[in-house]
Structure 1
Amino acid sequence: MTIFNEKIDRLKTASVKWELMKDIFGEEELLPMWVADMDFKPPQAVIDALTNRVEHGVFGYTFVPNSTASVIQAWLKKRHNWQIEPSWVRYTSGVVEAISAAICALSKEGDTVIVQSPVYTPFFNMIEWNKRTVVNSPLRLVEHKYEIDFEGLEQELQKGCKLFLLCNPHNPAGRVWTKDELLRIGKLCLQYDCLILSDEIHSDLIFKKYRHIPMASLSKELSEKVVTFISPSKTFNLAGLQASAVIIENEALREQFNEELKRRGFSSLNTFGILGMETAYQHGEEWLEDLIDYLQENRTYAINYLADHLPNIHCIDSEGTYLLWLDCRKLKLSDEELRNLLIKKGKLALEPGNKYGPGGEGFVRMNLACPREILKEGLERLKIAFT
């Protein structure tokens, strides 16, 4: 795991995380622990494959070969015991783009779409920017753990919601939904004829005592009502290659999604996205196991540090992802005060919790996917900000 201790200079690489802080936070000299990408190199096999492709030297029009879907099929079977068919797989440059396309393909303007806040900000954006209506069924924080309000969810479904946008594992809370929880969601959505769009981009980043269960894997009846989004971008830190997969078993829904991609002018992934995706899924598993161990150690270090030095900040003990959701409400500060102290005093860039919708007020999100030395510095800055 020592490879994850390497500090890599990401400046002058057009890094959103490291080079847009002036635009996002108003200052440049901050330690960035905000946007969800990692400060780690991907598996060496991916670097070697991309290097060899560059040396070939010709980069003409590219199609996604049949081998890509077969590689995805093998990965999902091995990692999540989910048996899919290659014919179910479609592609986009990213999961957010795919969610937007699915919303347009499978609903009409004015339709309602359920989310569970606090949740990934683009969920709200993709619904609203496509002229659909957000319906929020907030999660409940019970003894420092998020739970689903099933009664509230059913009440919203009864009103005729067209789509349910599920985040599994959940961002920013790090919940890995259990089989029972997913079955209850699925039963309600089937009962009220609501399609499920399941964002499973963090599904490979699960800590050892937990297990990711793809929503569409639970039953044949349910699989016909689910559209699943995955990508190697979070798993292997390949977001810049812009490649994601969409899995749709239902042929009619798949054709509707295809038609929407045609309207958008989508034709194929880029050369390096295809190669990176295939190589990572084929040869990255050992690297991923080491990564999960390292992230779990980072999480433990952060939790212990906060308990010792900042007892008024409670860490929601994540079950997956490399994100830490910090409850700062005992500090009795407004979101603006939290932001100003972090930036002005701590010189630390974290995601403000209120951007994740109702229930996010008084929280901040910290990215743990960095070398331990940077994590330690970030926690020291957090302490400075609130001391």
Structure 2
Amino acid sequence: MSAINAAHIAAETEFMSRLIEIRHDIHQHPETAFEEKRTSDLVAAFLENLGLKVHRGLAGTGVVATIKGRHEGNRKIGLRADMDALFIEEDTGLSYTSTVPGKMHACGHDGHTTMLLGAAEKLAQNPDFAGTVYLIFQPAEEGLGGARVMINDGLFELFDCDAVYGVHNGPCEPLGVVKTRLGPMMPAGDTWEVTFKGTGGHGAMPHAATDPTVAAGDFISNLSNIISRNIPSNDKAVISVGHIQAGAFDSPNIIPSNVLVRGTARSFKPQYRDVLEKRIGELAAGLATAHGVEVQYKFIRRYPPLVNHPNETELAVRAAKQAVGEDRVDGACDAIGGSEDFSFMLEKVPGAYVMIGNGDGPDSHFVHTPKFDFNDDLIPFGVAYWLNVVDAELGQNAVG
């Protein structure tokens, strides 16, 4: 194999037309976490038509295909794409808009899947490398940890990768610009839940009640102090409230007996993850005592921090420069606030994760919004990047 530039892939009109058709098909038929049956059927059929050995069933709808190089080599690498959609009503007006009410590909996983399918075709046609490539199509990235489930189901026992790589589109970033960084790139994503419990009562006679709304109000207003007084100013962490539930809309004169507050906590280092869990609970307990109510607290650890490994990050940067040009790669970008369950894979196997710009400008939209759409012009950048990763890892000059 040799280095591939995205422009070479983009110039293959027939190849690109087929990939765009696949991407639009997946986009029209979004499937949410662990329900990606149609998508996994499409992926498996495509890979089998290439003559590849396909394994199905990890995490229910996961698909893994194996491509062996024509040259002798023992190194094995994994390339991962996610397949699931989100519970969002699409509002793009596209000709290939979602046909499923309340669901859409609002994060670009339809494009991630398509890019890896395109790379699969190229690699199957010309396996000019030494070693093995595993193509990992993962369900349920959006909040339910499909990567963790695949691992628990034996992903790395069945497919013992020496390194693993992931790609995501970069929303509102210039088209084709690649960003990554060594070390922590994305934070742990955790969910917390606090329920204040009082007696409730008549809104005109609060002295005759124990009022959980006062405790909840003080709790919400003091959450930000956990960050400013417990996390060093040169580190990053976030606590946000995302859900509040109390009382009945038609009864504003009634003090509710329970107030539920839920939110997210983000942190880049394990010790600060521990601090957030401890201090949110202590704040809730202290305010409950102060206001004479009871409290229940849960802290649910979801995704660990995504931490890129040194050798693989260096290789990813090199592969990206070959794909998009040296001046369009930022190998030391700022950390990103969102979380990603590829972090589970990077806890088990060395690897690297990159973002490739989806396009900026006035018509661009951020992920997880009703108007977001993966940019078809990004496909050749992703395909070229994947091919260059394989060449850098398993090309004959890389064998050693």
Length-normalised TM-score, structure 2: 0.26
More helix by share: 1
Q: Which has the larger radius of gyration?
A: 2
Which gives a bigger RCO, structure 1 or 2 (Cα 8 Å, sep 6+)? 2
More strand by share: 2
Length-normalised TM-score, structure 1: 0.27
